[in-house]
């Protein structure tokens, strides 16, 4: 199949109005807020060197924080603010999605606006400011009638830089729950759907380019005092905004929102849950690509209605437990604990997605390694790779302690690339996931854990507090409980990791339902 | 000569750091008079001028305008009733000629139709071409035209007092001569009181009723050209030497030319 008649282009295109509209909305709101804050600051500090230096330094520091980190930081911050607001003023607002994304992006946009604002205002010929005074202008009239119009071209160049930055960085707002063109990129990276990745990159680049060119037209018009160019640029921006906002404006966001973290299995499961709800006549949308620290908070706050998590993850991260219990006992205890927060643990899906130490089968056989205990003797000359969180999780510490593991080197990797890395011998062992289809594909083996140092990771279905008594929802989901065994999930994940049209989460979710839905 | 002074300085001083820019100056400018202030750059001429409309505030002494202490007048209101012509025109580059000229009436809240009429009147008065100049931006004008617009802008709100900071200094000699003559005529016709700064003694002698000589912040001498030529001060005589030499040279050259 050629690249151009791949049906995934069509699928990508069908998401465009939603993703682009949201992307433009959050970028515009952030820019507007950034301008409303930065321009007065630039005006106020233009003749005050000390506050000006402090302000510019602060803006520069913000700029050095990586975009993803800045966005991620705003989520817990707003969560805290939201809980305080509720406690003190009885006002509730959502700390999820739009608000944290807009605030972080606004902060990000401030440096170029501030710097160019101050440069523009300070660059005006002092003789002209004197002249403004001389013809009888008040300081305010001088600012509005002379200084701002003269500084405008330089200010506009700053606004232009800021808008390109904001549009680019907005793609990183997907993990904190703001739909954006980043949804293509995150989903594409996780499910190895390069069509989506490419589509997302090209779409955001084109958007940034278009806005940059239009603002450039306005800037040029202001610089040469050409009204036509300024008007054309402004009309272009207005048309762009209208074209991207109108198709998504009227759409209501009511219905059930299914959350998903940022890996392929989660994309497939959220598509499956969404399809089941829709089949039961409930309106539902999937909100995928959420950061794993964001998704639980979003459920608790009711920003999403349901999602699939793993028992061991909540055990360690939410209950802060380091002891390990058998599967059934752990889930039961977790259910009781979550009920205190009004979160319903509806049940297990049937499979477990635990961490496991994985290595090539041939190598394991050659070394006579079948369990982690067997591996311990070889680790000092071996390297291990894990995902971004594994080495800071309690089970890694527990594993090392239980078996006396001392690896020669450890590396962090994008989960999808780990399996190929270990298969090719780039690393010796990886901390993989038991439900991953790539284990079979690359002829790898998951080593046994005889001391049970790794806690169980049953896939469990969670419902938001506001859905606790929702019997229709529970009825629609109950056919899934206990139905997905590990081999089925592995096969589904393997399909999702393919790079063709049948590997999209939607297609795999349909396959999965066909497989488990028929008795 | 009219008796009541339009502008009066009494023991006025102004320092910038250690520099005494204006040092104990007392000076009266009579109503209807055209006073030229001459002196080298750094002699305090511009500071002296700017004290009148409070672009600069004095350290000591009093300045009165039409009998009132300027400290008792709101500086913005004061500036709107005194015309000021800046050294290099000081035109706002983003405003058309018409908008530049009409700025002070606009600040005073004059009706739009009145401003349009006044602007056209001034364009005419300054011998600019209404059709071709009115809507141009300053950058499209020649130096002389720009300075005419600068004078028109200063006159727009019908001030009785004009302050001019080397208004014709940067112009080509012919343009400068014509503009000077034209302004002298306007000054008379409109009954203005004018203080004009120049570093050119010849220009001062040709245009002014009286000349004030500044040096190192002090008012060295003042009087009509004839009175000054009778001065015994070495610096004043030195200043007068240039125009005298010019006159002699011109006379000699013209006489030769006439004989040929």
Q: What percent of chain B has pLDDT over 70?
A: 97
Helices then strands (H, E): number in chain A? 22, 10
Sign of the CA dihedral running A497, A500, A504, A510: negative
A154 in any annotated domain: yes
**Quick one: average pLDDT of A119-145?**
92
Confidence at residue A224, expressed as pLDDT on a 0 to 100 scale: 75
- Take residue A415 and report the two structure tokens written for it: 């989960």
Q: CA-nearest residue of chain A to B86?
A: A131
CATH number of B1-81+161-224: 3.40.50.300
A88 in any annotated domain: yes
Alpha helices in chain B (DSSP H): 45-50, 75-80, 97-101, 103-107, 112-125, 130-133, 143-155, 173-190, 201-207, 225-229, 234-259
**Quick one: average pLDDT of A199-227?**
87
Looking at the fold, whether A104 and A202 belong to one and the same domain comes out as yes
- Take residue A82 and report the two structure tokens written for it: 């939201």
Contact at 8 Å (CB) between A192 and A498? yes
Alpha helices in A123-191 (DSSP H): 126-134, 139-142, 148-169, 182-190
Looking at the fold, whether A45 and A103 belong to one and the same domain comes out as yes
Confidence at residue A138, expressed as pLDDT on a 0 to 100 scale: 93
Pick the last residue of a domain from A191, A220, A249: A249
Helices then strands (H, E): number in chain B? 11, 10
Q: Which residues of chain B have pLDDT under 70?
A: 1-3, 257-260
A490 in any annotated domain: no
A495 in any annotated domain: no
A451 in any annotated domain: no
Residue A129, min C-alpha distance to chain B (Å): 9
What is the C-alpha separation between A444 and A438, in angstroms, rounded?
8
A232 in any annotated domain: yes
Q: Degrees (nearest 5) of the Cα angle B79, B81, B83? A: 75
Confidence at residue A1, expressed as pLDDT on a 0 to 100 scale: 47
Contact B79 A128 (CB under 8 A): no
Contact B53 A134 (CB under 8 A): yes
* Of the candidate ranges A466-475, A491-500, B150-159, the one whose mean pLDDT is the lowest: A491-500
Name residue A274's beta-bridge partners.
none
* pLDDT tens track for B116-153: 999 999 998 888 887 788 889 999 998 888 999 999 99
Contact A131 B86 (CB under 8 A): yes
Residues of B with a Cβ under 8 Å from any A Cβ are 53, 55, 76-77, 79-80, 84, 86-88, 90-94, 103-104, 107-108, 137, 153, 157
Contact B90 A150 (CB under 8 A): no
* pLDDT tens track for A232-247: 888 988 888 887 776 6
Bridge-based pairing state of the strands B210-215 and B34-38: parallel
How deeply is B248 buried, as exposed, middle or buried, from its count of CB atoms within 10 A (0-12, 13-18, 19+)? exposed
Looking at the fold, whether A223 and A314 belong to one and the same domain comes out as no
Best mutation target among A127, A132, A136 (most B Cβ atoms within 10 Å) is A136
Select the residue of B55, B92, B104 nearest A128 (Cβ to Cβ).
B92
Give the closest residue to B86 by CA, choosing from B177, B159, B149.
B149
Q: CA-nearest residue of chain A to B137?
A: A225
Q: Count other C-beta atoms under 10 Å from residue B105's C-beta.
A: 20
Select the residue of A141, A149, A225 nearest B107 (Cβ to Cβ).
A141
Confidence at residue A247, expressed as pLDDT on a 0 to 100 scale: 61
CATH at residue A335: 3.40.190.10
Tell me if chain B has a CB within 8 Å of the CB of A139.
no
Looking at the fold, whether A17 and A107 belong to one and the same domain comes out as yes
Distances in whole angstroms, Cα of residue A282 to Cα of each of A350, A474, A478, B248: 24, 12, 15, 107
State the residue for tokens 């169980």: A456
Confidence at residue A4, expressed as pLDDT on a 0 to 100 scale: 63
Confidence at residue A250, expressed as pLDDT on a 0 to 100 scale: 47
* pLDDT tens track for A14-70: 788 888 888 998 998 999 999 999 999 998 888 888 888 888 888 888 888 887 888
Residue B146, min C-alpha distance to chain A (Å): 14
Looking at the fold, whether A296 and A277 belong to one and the same domain comes out as yes
Give the closest residue to A490 by CA, choosing from A279, A319, A265.
A265
What are the structural domain ranges in chain B?
1-81+161-224, 91-159
- H-helix or E-strand containing B5? strand B5-16
Contact A135 B103 (CB under 8 A): yes
Looking at the fold, whether A286 and A389 belong to one and the same domain comes out as no
Confidence at residue B8, expressed as pLDDT on a 0 to 100 scale: 95
Looking at the fold, whether A221 and A341 belong to one and the same domain comes out as no
Q: Which residues of A touch B76 (CB under 8 A)?
A: 136-138
**Quick one: average pLDDT of A438-456?**
87
Contact A128 B84 (CB under 8 A): no
State the residue for tokens 């009165």: B64
- Take residue A194 and report the two structure tokens written for it: 């390069």
Contact B107 A137 (CB under 8 A): yes
Name residue B37's beta-bridge partners.
B197, B212
What is the C-alpha separation between A78 and A96, in angstroms, rounded?
8
Residue B77, min C-alpha distance to chain A (Å): 7
Looking at the fold, whether A89 and A126 belong to one and the same domain comes out as yes
Mean pLDDT over the full length of chain A: 86
Residue B137, min C-alpha distance to chain A (Å): 9
Confidence at residue A518, expressed as pLDDT on a 0 to 100 scale: 64
CATH at residue A382: 3.40.190.120
Looking at the fold, whether A260 and A245 belong to one and the same domain comes out as no
Residue A169, min C-alpha distance to chain B (Å): 36
- Take residue A250 and report the two structure tokens written for it: 């009227």
* Of the candidate ranges A265-269, A390-394, A492-496, the one whose mean pLDDT is the lowest: A390-394
**Quick one: average pLDDT of A202-215?**
91
Q: Which domain does A94 fall in, by range? A: 7-249
ipTM value for the complex = 0.89
Confidence check: pLDDT of A498 > 80 = no
What is the C-alpha separation between B68 and A86, in angstroms, rounded?
63
Tell me if chain B has a CB within 8 Å of the CB of A472.
no
Q: Which residues of B touch A131 (CB under 8 A)?
A: 86, 90-92
Give the pLDDT band of residue A253 (cuts 50, 70, 90).
low
For the question of whether the overall pTM of this predicted structure is more than 0.80, the answer is no
Give the pLDDT band of residue A248 (cuts 50, 70, 90).
low
Pick the last residue of a domain from A210, A233, A249: A249
Contact A135 B84 (CB under 8 A): yes
Q: Which residues of A touch B53 (CB under 8 A)?
A: 134
Q: How many domains does chain A have?
A: 3
* Beta strand ranges found along A142-283 (DSSP E): 256-261
* pLDDT tens track for A360-416: 999 999 999 999 999 988 888 899 999 888 888 778 888 888 998 889 888 888 777
Looking at the fold, whether A287 and A371 belong to one and the same domain comes out as no
State the residue for tokens 């930065």: A38
Q: Which residues of A touch B138 (CB under 8 A)?
A: none
Looking at the fold, whether A388 and A285 belong to one and the same domain comes out as no
Contact at 8 Å (CB) between B163 and B37? no
Q: Degrees (nearest 5) of the Cα angle B111, B116, B118? A: 95
Looking at the fold, whether A394 and A289 belong to one and the same domain comes out as no
Confidence at residue A415, expressed as pLDDT on a 0 to 100 scale: 78
Give the pLDDT band of residue A174 (cuts 50, 70, 90).
confident
Select the residue of B77, B90, B137 nearest A134 (Cβ to Cβ).
B90
Q: Degrees (nearest 5) of the Cα angle A446, A448, A451? A: 145
Residue B136, min C-alpha distance to chain A (Å): 11
Pick the last residue of a domain from A198, A222, A249: A249
Q: Which residues of A touch B107 (CB under 8 A)?
A: 135-137, 141
CATH at residue A33: 1.10.3720.10
């Amino acid at each position: 199949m050629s690249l151009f008649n791949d049906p995934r282009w069509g699928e990508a295109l069908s998401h465009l109005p939603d993703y682009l509209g949201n992307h433009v909305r959050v970028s515009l709101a952030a820019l507007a807020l950034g301008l409303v804050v930065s321009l007065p600051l630039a005006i106020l500090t233009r003749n005050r060197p000390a506050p000006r230096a402090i302000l510019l330094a602060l803006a520069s520091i913000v700029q050095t924080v990586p975009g993803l980190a800045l966005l991620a930081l705003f989520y817990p911050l707003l969560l805290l603010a939201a809980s305080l607001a509720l406690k003190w003023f009885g006002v509730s607002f959502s700390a999820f999605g739009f608000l944290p994304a807009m605030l972080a992006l606004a902060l990000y946009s401030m440096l170029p606006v501030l710097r160019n604002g101050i440069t523009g205002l300070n660059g005006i010929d002092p003789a002209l400011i004197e002249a403004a005074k001389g013809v009888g202008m008040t300081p305010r009239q001088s600012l509005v009638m002379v200084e701002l119009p003269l500084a405008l071209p330089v200010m506009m160049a700053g606004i232009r830089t800021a808008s390109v930055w904001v549009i680019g960085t907005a793609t990183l707002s997907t993990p904190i729950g703001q739909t954006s063109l980043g949804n293509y990129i995150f989903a594409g990276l996780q499910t190895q759907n390069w069509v989506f990745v490419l589509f997302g990159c090209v779409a955001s680049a084109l958007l940034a380019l278009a806005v940059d060119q239009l603002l450039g037209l306005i800037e040029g018009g202001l610089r040469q005092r050409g009204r036509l160019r300024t008007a054309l640029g402004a009309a272009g921006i207005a048309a762009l905004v209208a074209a991207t906002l109108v198709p998504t404006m009227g759409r209501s966001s009511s219905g059930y929102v299914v959350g998903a973290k940022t890996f392929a299995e989660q994309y497939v499961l959220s598509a499956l849950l969404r399809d089941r709800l829709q089949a039961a006549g409930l309106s539902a949308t999937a909100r995928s690509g959420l950061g794993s620290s964001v998704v639980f908070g979003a459920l608790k706050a009711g920003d999403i209605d349901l999602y699939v998590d793993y028992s061991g993850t909540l055990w360690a991260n939410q209950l802060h437990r380091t002891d390990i219990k058998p599967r059934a006992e752990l889930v039961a205890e977790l259910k009781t604990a979550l009920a205190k927060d009004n979160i319903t643990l509806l049940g297990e899906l049937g499979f477990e997605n635990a961490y496991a130490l994985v290595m090539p089968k041939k190598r394991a056989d050659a070394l006579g390694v079948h369990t982690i205990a067997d591996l311990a003797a070889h680790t000092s000359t071996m390297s291990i790779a894990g995902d971004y969180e594994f080495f800071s999780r309690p089970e890694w510490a527990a594993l090392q302690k239980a078996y006396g593991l001392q690896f020669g080197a450890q590396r962090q990797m994008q989960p999808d690339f780990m399996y190929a890395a270990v298969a090719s011998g780039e690393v010796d062992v990886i901390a993989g996931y038991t439900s991953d289809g790539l284990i079979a594909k690359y002829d790898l083996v998951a080593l046994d854990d005889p001391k049970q140092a790794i806690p169980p990771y049953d896939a469990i279905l969670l419902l938001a507090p506001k859905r606790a008594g929702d019997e229709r929802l529970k009825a629609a989901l109950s056919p899934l409980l206990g139905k997905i065994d590990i081999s089925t999930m592995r096969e589904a994940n393997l399909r999702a990791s393919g790079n063709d049209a049948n590997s999209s989460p939607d297609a795999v979710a349909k396959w999965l339902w066909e497989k488990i839905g028929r008795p | 000569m009219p008796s009541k002074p339009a502008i009066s300085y009494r023991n006025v001083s102004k320092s910038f750091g250690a520099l005494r820019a204006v040092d104990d100056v007392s000076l009266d400018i009579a109503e209807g008079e055209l006073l030229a202030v001459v002196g080298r750059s750094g002699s305090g001429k511009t500071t002296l001028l700017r004290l009148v409309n409070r672009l600069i505030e004095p350290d000591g002494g009093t300045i009165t305008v039409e009998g009132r202490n300027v400290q008792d007048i709101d500086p913005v209101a004061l500036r709107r009733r005194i015309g000021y012509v800046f050294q290099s025109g000081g035109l706002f580059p983003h405003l058309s000629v018409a908008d530049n000229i009409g700025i002070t009436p606009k600040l005073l809240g004059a009706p739009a139709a009145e401003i349009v009429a006044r602007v056209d009147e001034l364009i005419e008065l300054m011998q600019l071409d209404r059709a071709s100049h009115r809507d141009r931006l300053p950058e499209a004008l020649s130096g002389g035209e720009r300075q005419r617009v600068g004078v028109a802008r200063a006159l727009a709100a019908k001030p009785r007092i004009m302050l001019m900071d080397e208004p014709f200094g940067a112009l080509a000699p012919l343009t400068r001569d014509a503009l000077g003559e034209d302004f002298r005529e306007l000054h008379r016709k409109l009954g203005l009181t004018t203080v004009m700064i120049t570093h050119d003694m010849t220009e001062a002698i040709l245009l002014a009723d009286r000349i004030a000589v500044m040096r190192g912040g002090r008012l060295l001498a003042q009087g009509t050209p004839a009175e000054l030529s009778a001065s015994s001060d070495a610096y004043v005589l030195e200043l007068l030497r240039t125009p005298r030499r010019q006159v002699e040279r011109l006379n000699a050259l013209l006489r030769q030319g006439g004989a040929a």
